[in-house]
Structures are given as C-alpha cells and as structure tokens.
C-alpha cells in the first residue's frame, strides 16, 4: 500500500480552480491512484482514479506525472458545496487505507 501525503487543509473561494497535490513516493507498479470526497456524516464518494498521465471526468481532472510519485486533483470552478474532505489513496488490491485527507473550505 502506498503511503500518501497531502495538505491537511486548503482554503478557496467560489469560482476558483483548486488543485490538491498528493505525494506517494513508494507507489507500487500495480497501484492505481484514487481520490474520494467525504461530507460530514456521509460515506466517502468516489471522484476519480488514474494510473498515469491525465484523466478527466464530469467532476474533476487528475494529473499523474510519468514517475507517478505524486498526483494532483483539479476541481474547476469550485462552489460552496465542494467544501469537504478529499482523500488520496494508492492501492493495488482490496483494502483501502485512508489518511486524514485534505479539508477543503470554499468561501463565498
């Protein structure tokens, strides 16, 4: 299981782009990088995942450089409802190990 490091908290304003970077220096060859979002009293919600280069869906983009030692979750034009904890996970099989995540606070 890859050990991941991400900022404890970030602040932003509505309409801005937010980039959350996660480092995972010991990521294994078969590990995927997966990002989850969690609101208070709710379960983690899958946002996006990738192996390398760039992945984009309707919610976010994920950038993973060639060495795969880090990844960046990009949230375009955030709104107040994007205030949540964001988790970066690197794993190969089965068990997910969650860290403390990044608490993103979006202000008006």
Partner 1 sequence: EPEVTQTPSHQVTQMGQEVILRCVPISNHLYFYWYRQILGQKVEFLVSFYNNEISEKSEIFDDQFSVERPDGSNFTLKIRSTKLEDSAMYFCASSLGQHSNQPQHFGDGTRLSIL
Residues that bind partner 1 (CB under 8 A): 30-32, 34, 36, 38, 41-46, 49, 51, 87, 89, 91-100
Nearer to partner 1, 12 or 38 (CB): 38
Order of strands, edge to edge, in the sheet holding 84-91?
9-13, 102-107, 84-91, 32-38, 45-50
d(CA 73, CA 47): 10
Q: Shortest approach of partner 1 to residue 58 CB, angstroms?
A: 12
Nearer to partner 1, 94 or 108 (CB): 94
Q: Shortest approach of partner 1 to residue 87 CB, angstroms?
A: 8
């Amino acid at each position: 299981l890859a050990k991941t490091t991400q900022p404890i908290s970030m602040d932003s304003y509505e309409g801005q782009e937010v980039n959350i970077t996660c480092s995972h220096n010991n990521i294994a060859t078969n590990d995927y990088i997966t990002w989850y979002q969690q609101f208070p009293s709710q379960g983690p919600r899958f946002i996006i995942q990738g192996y390398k280069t760039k992945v984009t869906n309707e919610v976010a983009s994920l950038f993973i450089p060639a060495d795969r030692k880090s990844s960046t979750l990009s949230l375009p034009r955030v709104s107040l409802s994007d205030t949540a904890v964001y988790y970066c996970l690197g794993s190969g099989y089965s068990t997910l190990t969650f860290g403390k995540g990044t608490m993103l606070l979006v202000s008006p």
